[in-house]
Amino acid sequence: MVLIAALSCGRLPIADAVEYRLPTPHLQGAMTLTDTLRQRRSVREFAATPLSLQTAAQLLWAAQGITSPGGLRTAPSAGALYPLELHLVAGAVEGLPNGSYRYDPGHHSLTLTAEGDLRSALAHAALDQGWITRAPAVVVIAAVPMRTTQKYGERGIRYVHIEVGHAGQNLLLQAVALGLRSVVVGAFRDQTVQRLLGLVADEHPLAILPVGYPR
């Protein structure tokens, strides 16, 4: 893992953000797609086992990773406009300090946006679903709708929601292939999550996916 200073873009809540280069994703797996579909279940109880940085990187790549020289990603996007932003809330990820990180698909890296273990605060924002705190990592899928609506108008809102489903299912299936489990949480206070993760004004949280090894 390589640590490099990140350029300030005026959107992070901490002055000296740090970028974490992630391990290269694996492009072949031992489990078939059919097996992952058959075994996928919504799980809300997790073992205390931490995630490796390689595992966290694989999950993020599955949801929004770059898969072509032209920048196309693992999940389809209307007009290839890519309104989604992934945030990793790390509470027990080996080699990664606790905090919230923004995923950069182009560099396959994470940039620290908020320090400390935010899982309890995130669980409180998710209508006090305390079990979220037991997941070693939580992926929050957010979106900047304007990237899509500037081309497709109000219809673009629907396209953004469809894209969240694509990315979320990719992550869920990748989790199964790695021996992990997850679930989609849609009940949360949007503005609280937005403040907690340091999202910009036009960026909206749409789904929370706690991830961990099943008990």
| Number of separate domains in the chain | 1
188 assigned to some structural domain: yes
Query: What's the rounded mean pLDDT across residues 198-211?
Result: 96
Question: What would the pLDDT profile of 105-122 be if each residue is shown by its tens digit?
Answer: 999 999 999 999 999 999
Question: What would the pLDDT profile of 22-56 be if each residue is shown by its tens digit?
Answer: 999 999 989 999 999 999 999 999 999 999 999 99
Check which CATH number belongs to the domain holding 80 and give it.
3.40.109.10
111 assigned to some structural domain: yes
6 assigned to some structural domain: no
Q: Euclidean distance between the first and final Cα of the chain, in Å?
A: 29
| 151: nearest Cα among 159, 141, 143 | 159
Six token digits for residue 212: 């961990």
Domain that holds residue 125: 51-212
E strand map for 122-203: 137-143, 181-182
41 assigned to some structural domain: no
Question: What would the pLDDT profile of 70-103 be if each residue is shown by its tens digit?
Answer: 999 999 999 999 999 999 999 999 999 999 999 9
Q: What is the CA radius of gyration of the chain?
A: 16
22 assigned to some structural domain: no
DSSP element (H, E) containing 170: helix 155-177
Question: Is residue 211 within 8 Å of 43, Cβ to Cβ?
Answer: no
Place of tokens 């609280």: 192
